[in-house]
Amino acid sequence: MVASNPTRIEEAKSRLLWPSLRLLPSLPQEPKRTMTSSSTASRKALSKIACNRLQKELAEWQVGPPAGFKYKVSDNLQRWVIEVGGAAGTLYAGETYQLQVDFPEHYPMEAPQVIFLNPAPMHPHIYSNGHICLDILYDSWSPAMTVSSVCISILSMLSSSPAKQRPQDNDRYVRNCRNGRSPKETRWWFHDDKV
Amino acid sequence: MAADGGVARQAELRRIEGNACFYKARFGAAIDCYTEAIALCPDVAVYWMNRGLCHFRRKDWAKVEEDSRKALALDDTLVKGHYMLGCALLRKEECALAIKELEKALDLLKSSNSRDKMAEDIWEVLAKAKYLDWEKHSTQRVWKIQNLKEACENALQEHHFLSGTLTEDSVGPTNEYSEQRKLLSEVFTNAILADTPGDVPDYLCCQITFEIFRDPVITPSGVTYERAILLEHLRKVGNFDPVTREPLKEHQLVPNLAIKEAVQAYLKEHSWAYRSN
């Protein structure tokens, strides 16, 4: 359903505002003491709607996965690990990375948490702890998006990278994210990236 | 008259007492109260209904059937009565009868215009009944067709044997026998196609739930969604169309009757699609 639906893919592409706009994390001044709150929340069992939908997404993925991605088989429907191959002709050609996708109880009403597992690709929008600065994963999520469309967006973000480098504020951000804070807790905001 | 009024009042008091027990989940005590109310005024449908509800909560299906039938004999418009009777019949695997009751319950609920959780419950049991009914009949149908297929294959073979054209391994350009056998097999595959569970076409499924539509609504962008999930999206995620991201408010939604009819037609032919996970 996903791969054969051009509207949905176009949609995913059009959400990709790179490189004119980018998101920057706004860091809370005081790191919260109860940082595990979101990770426990994300471990809450999937709702019936979420479960049904993920089973169907997985079945469709197995029939036709998006090009360049490989689902690593597991019996955990709530956490998918996906292998991404850098597209030919881009800075990441021949390289392989791993995405970890965690689904909240009320998926798809809430966005999944998507991070790169160590080592994360060097990219101006990807922090060294694997957090990805991409609006559709946070404020611009829509329940009509799927794991598949999210993957396509991420690959497209990788492919259009002009240089293998970390975001400018990488060290400061990663320092503030210790204790395994979820990127969904970060208040990302749009920032003009022309400079 | 005066005596009648007294009896009715007494029965009513029993009912109130029974309701209090019911809400405390003391079903045995509640049954006793309703039984007394019934003894006093056997013509009041609600007393039978309420006692039936107690049996329902205790999963005492034979008694559920008995009481809901009595209640419905007095008042045929009781949604819960048809629902309970439908559930009890489904327990007995009387699918066709259960479906009739549950559909009646849904119709009554629709005309009363109340959109509560009840509709969801009824639909769930109805879907289960339809699926069971399909399972029962399809096994028989498929088996009969399979037998017929074998008989036809044998007859075809015999026919070619008798007319001396049984050249199964010949590679001639017009091998009539093998061609006919292939065609026969195709015909029979098609005959059981509707009874073979598969994927519901995408155009009959909501792009959020990925499930077959039940109450489809169309947005000004022309995209159709399942009503309940779209309302949840508008409430929790934001006022936009999930696919096109055009601004969207609840009052702009219109039922998509054509898709609804298409779903009904599809389910009629492919009842396996009633199965939910």
Encode pLDDT of A119-129 as tens digits: 999 999 999 99
DSSP secondary structure code for residue A130 in this structure: S
d(CA B31, CA B22): 9
Does A1 fall in a domain? no
Q: Which of A48, A106, A144 sits opposite B207 (nearest CB)?
A: A144
pLDDT at A192: 42
Query: Which residues, 6 or more positions from B103, have their beta carbon under 8 angstroms from its beta carbon?
Result: B126
How close is the nearest chain A Cα to the Cα of B122, in Å?
Answer: 18
- Select from A53, A55, A135 the residue whose CB has the most chain B CBs within 10 Å, as the one to mutate to test that interface: A53
pLDDT at A29: 43
Residue B270, helix vs strand vs coil: coil
Label residue A93 by pLDDT band (50, 70, 90).
very high
Chain B hits for A49, CB-CB cut-off 8 Å, are 209, 229
Q: Which of A55, A106, A109 sits opposite B277 (nearest CB)?
A: A55
* Model ipTM value: 0.72
- Select from B243, B244, B246, B276 the residue whose CB has the most chain A CBs within 10 Å, as the one to mutate to test that interface: B243
pLDDT in tens, A140-177: 999 999 999 999 999 999 999 888 999 988 888 888 88
Average pLDDT, chain A: 79
Does A132 fall in a domain? yes
Q: Locate the domains of chain B by residue range.
A: 2-124, 132-191, 202-274
Tell whether B12 is within 8 A of chain A (Cβ). Answer: no
Nearest to B81 by CA among B108, B62, B114, B116: B108
Does A13 fall in a domain? yes
pLDDT in tens, A21-39: 445 555 544 444 333 444 4
Tell whether B251 is within 8 A of chain A (Cβ). Answer: no
d(CA B98, CA B91): 9
Q: Which residue of A has its CA nearest to B240?
A: A142
First to last CA, chain B: 57
Return the number of other C-beta atoms located less than 10 Å from residue B267's C-beta. 18
**Which residues form the domain of A130?**
6-28+47-190
How close is the nearest chain A Cα to the Cα of B223, in Å?
Answer: 11
How close is the nearest chain B Cα to the Cα of A138, in Å?
Answer: 11
CA–CA distances in Å: residue B31 to residues B13, B82, B186: 14, 20, 59
Contact B244 A11 (CB under 8 A): yes
Contact A8 B245 (CB under 8 A): no
Does A159 fall in a domain? yes
pLDDT in tens, A41-54: 446 899 988 999 99
Residues of B numbered 224-243 whose beta carbons fall under 8 angstroms of chain A's beta carbons: which are they?
A: 229, 232-233, 236-237, 240, 242-243
Chain B hits for A56, CB-CB cut-off 8 Å, are 210-211
How close is the nearest chain B Cα to the Cα of A172, in Å?
Answer: 30
d(CA A176, CA A32): 10
Q: Which residue of B has its CA nearest to A139?
A: B237
Contact B243 A144 (CB under 8 A): yes
Q: Which uninterrupted H or E stretch holds A183?
A: none
The CATH architecture of the domain made up of B202-274 is 2-Layer Sandwich (3.30)
Contact A52 B207 (CB under 8 A): no
Does A21 fall in a domain? yes
pLDDT at A40: 44
Which residue reads 């934001």 in tokens? B238
Q: Which residue of B has its CA nearest to A52?
A: B277
Chain A positions contacting chain B at CB under 8 Å are 1, 4-5, 7-8, 11, 48-49, 51-53, 55-57, 106, 108-109, 141-144
Chain A hits for B277, CB-CB cut-off 8 Å, are 48, 51-52, 55
Does A34 fall in a domain? no
Active site amino acids of A? 133
Contact B210 A1 (CB under 8 A): yes
Print burial letters for B177-186: b (CB count within 10 Å at least 16), e (below 16): bbebbeeeee
CATH number, domain of A106, equals: 3.10.110.10
A81 has a pLDDT exceeding 90:
yes
Tell whether B221 is within 8 A of chain A (Cβ). Answer: no
Q: Which of B207, B211, B237 sits opposite A109 (nearest CB)?
A: B237
Long-range contacts of B72-79, Cβ-Cβ distance < 8 Å, separation of 24 or more: B72/B45, B74/B43, B74/B44, B74/B45, B74/B48, B75/B45, B77/B108, B78/B45, B78/B49, B78/B108, B79/B105, B79/B108, B79/B109, B79/B112, B79/B118, B79/B122
Nearest to A114 by CA among A85, A87, A141: A141
d(CA B213, CA B255): 11
Helix then strand count (H, E) for chain A reads 5, 6
- Select from A13, A109, A135 the residue whose CB has the most chain B CBs within 10 Å, as the one to mutate to test that interface: A109
Topology, domain B2-124:
1.25.40
Q: Are the C-beta atoms of residues B246 and B221 closer than 8 Å to each other?
A: yes
Does A138 fall in a domain? yes
| DSSP secondary structure, B176-244, as one string | HHHHHHHHHHHHHHHHTTTTS--PPPGGGB-TTT-SBPSSEEE-TTS-EEEHHHHHHHHHHT-SB-TTT
The count of domains in chain A is 1
* Higher per-residue confidence, A5 vs A185: A185
Label residue A86 by pLDDT band (50, 70, 90).
very high
Low-confidence ranges of chain B (pLDDT < 50): 1-2, 173, 277
pLDDT at B110: 81
